[in-house]
Amino acid sequence: MSQLTVQILSGMCCGFGNCAALCPQVFALDYDSNRTRIVPGAPLADYAAEIAQAASECPTQAIHVVAFEDQARASHG
Ligand code: SF4
């Protein structure tokens, strides 16, 4: 099973909220800072397709996604 790590490069986020509109379970727009953040505890793997779409459609490419295999699985080759 793969896992995801998602980062928002806040210095690049322009705060339009496309990602939050696309997948509010993962992305939340902070109206105070006008930046998007990751919802704490969001089940990233359940929304992998939406996250990938949000990353590809982000106008400033501020969303970085890294997928990696579980440690246990990786250690077996
Ligand atoms: S789509 Fe990109 S620029 Fe727009 S709010 Fe989300 S992370 Fe920020």
Give the residue, out of 7, 9, 16, 50, with the most ligand 1 atoms within 8 A of its beta carbon, to mutate for a pocket test: 16
- The enclosing domain of 7 has a CATH number of 3.30.70.20
| b/e sequence 50-60, b meaning 16+ C-beta within 10 Å | bbeebbeebee
Domain count, the chain: 1
- pLDDT tens by residue, 52-67: 999 999 999 999 999 8
Residue 1 confidence (pLDDT) above 80 = no
When pLDDT is cut at 50, 70 and 90, the band that residue 77 belongs to is: very low
- Closest approach atom of ligand 1 to CA 14: 3
- Closest approach atom of ligand 1 to CA 17: 5
Residues 77 and 46 sit within 8 Å (Cβ to Cβ): no
Tokens 């699985």 map to which residue?
73
- Closest approach atom of ligand 1 to CA 20: 6
Q: What is the pTM of this model?
A: 0.86
Residues spanned by the domain of 62: 2-76
- pLDDT tens by residue, 4-52: 899 999 899 999 999 999 999 999 999 999 999 999 999 999 999 999 9
